[in-house]
Amino acid sequence: MKKTKSFPVAVALMGLGAASSFAEIKINDNLSTSGFLDMSVNGAAPDSGDATLNASFDQFELDFMYKFGDISARADVNAMPSTDSAALPMGSGKPSGNNSSVFLEQGFVNYTKGGFGVTAGRFLSSSGYEAAEPTGMFQYSYSKTLVYGYYQNGLALSYSTPMFGLYGAVVSDLWSPQEFELMNSPGFEGQLTLTPVEGVTAKLAYLYQMYDKDVTGDESQSLLNFWAQYAKGPLTAAAEFNLLSDWTPADLSGMGWLALVNYKITDKVATTFRYSALVIDDKDDDTDDMDSEVTFSPSYAISGNWLALAEIKYEIDKKKTDYALESTFAF
């Protein structure tokens, strides 16, 4: 799930930040902060082979939000004891090695006026339904469709109204925040957002990454991402579709999809069902490599800012059951 706090309009349109049911901590008129602590117990039980069980403190994040009239800025500092946590999305964004690490996840400046917005710095891609942070997720794990763009260095423009929005960005790399070269291998991202009636949101994004063929052997890579969500009262239902073209290695193509239903049974208890799959077209042997899963995840709100959940996920094609308990404390 990708939602935002009531931050500047352009930032909300981009989908930066994660959903939260807690208020930011106001330090003064210009500065506020928020963050979370996330920990888990997780494991796997394959149909054949040995079972595993792990316990970890996954990550701590502290976010700083600055506001000066039409100009705002944000900096997210992330700390983790290990870069191998199963809860972390997008391996390209992790620091290398297994040691403890503290790093700047994103930092950007935004100017918003009359629905128009300009953002510069390092920011999260607007693509994809599932959020980059556990505070924006209904369940512990990420879906098989997680081929979204990641944190990016560049410049973004946006325009929004109550019923639609437009967003575009030029970045150094769509999928790797460690890439800074822009002239020979830029990435481009565009998104159309529609909110036609209350409770309905639909987003269509296209991502195109150019490569220096003399260096990588590849020319380009692209992703078409569409998702729609209905969220009203206790019910949230969503669907997503991804189309991949010329993905490395070997210029693979494919598609992925997701279907999710979350229902809030009481003010404290909710449950989530999710099905997702990713199919990669193997050009070498004319076969499709499919990876699919089904997930069940009940959750319990211990307090307004402390959520505990359990997850059982069966990976259909790998014939493996994954399970997890997660605790997320947000402030």
Q: pLDDT, tens digit, for every residue of 192-207?
A: 999 999 999 999 999 9
DSSP H helices in 207-253:
213-216
- Phi, psi dihedral angles at 170 (to 5 degrees): -120, 125
Average pLDDT over residues 87-106: 59
Least Cα distance to 99 among 117, 121, 81 occurs for 81
pTM of the complete model beyond 0.95: no
Predicted confidence band at 90 (pLDDT cuts at 50, 70, 90)?
A: very low
Beta bridge partners of 73: 66, 109
Domain 9-330: homologous superfamily in CATH: Porin (2.40.160.10)
pLDDT of 20: 41
pLDDT of 82: 59
Cα separation of 293 and 274, whole Å?
8
pLDDT of 8: 34
pLDDT of 286: 61
Least confident of 76-85, 101-110, 285-294: 76-85
Structure tokens of 313? 């996920």
Q: What is the pLDDT of residues 137-188, one digit of tens each?
A: 999 999 998 899 999 999 999 999 999 999 999 999 999 888 888 888 999 9
pLDDT of 11: 36
Q: In 10 A of CB 304, how many CB atoms? A: 11
Average pLDDT over residues 220-240: 96
Cα separation of 17 and 132, whole Å?
8
Predicted confidence band at 248 (pLDDT cuts at 50, 70, 90)?
A: low
Contact between residue 114 and residue 126 where contact means Cβ atoms under 8 Å apart: no
pLDDT of 19: 39
Q: Is the pLDDT of residue 15 over 60?
A: no
Q: Is the pLDDT of residue 27 over 80?
A: yes
Predicted confidence band at 214 (pLDDT cuts at 50, 70, 90)?
A: low
Longest dimension (CA), the chain: 62
Q: Is the pLDDT of residue 77 over 90?
A: yes
Q: In the chain, where are the structural domains located?
A: 9-330
Structure tokens of 136? 């924006």
Mean pLDDT of the chain: 86
Q: What is the pLDDT of residues 289-328, one digit of tens each?
A: 889 999 999 999 999 999 999 999 999 999 999 999 999 9
